[in-house]
Structure 1
Amino acid sequence: MNGRILIIAGSDSGGGAGIQADIKTVTALGGYAATAITALTAQNTQGIFAVQPVTPHFIAEQARRVLSDIGADCIKIGMLHSVAVIETVADVLEELAGGIPLLLDPVMIAKDGTPLLDQAAIKTLKRRLLPRASLITPNLPEAEALTGLKIGHPEAMPEAANALLELGSSAVLLKGGHLPGHHLYDLLMMRDYKEIFQTQRISTPHTHGTGCTLASAVATGLAQKRLLLDAVRRAHAYVQEAIRTAPGYGQGQGPLNHTHTVSPLEA
Structure 2
Amino acid sequence: MKKVFLLILVISTLAVASQLEIFSSSGEWAFFENPARLLSMNKQGVMGSYQVFSGEGESLGTFLVGLFQTPAPNIAGVLYLKRSTLTESSYRTTIEYDAAFSPEESLNVGAGVSFTMDQEERKEIDLHGGVSGYLFKDVGFGVSVRDFTLWSQKGTYMGGTYLLKLFYDSSRKNRFSYSLVFDQEVLENRIDFTIGSEQKAGLGVSVLSNTKTKENTVKISLGFYATVNNVSVGFGTFIISSPVSSDPFSEYYYTQGTGIKFAVRW
- If the TM-score is normalised by the length of the shorter chain, which range does it land in? 0.3 to 0.5
TM-score, length-scaled by structure 1: 0.35
Structure with the largest fraction of helix? 1
TM-score, length-scaled by structure 2: 0.35
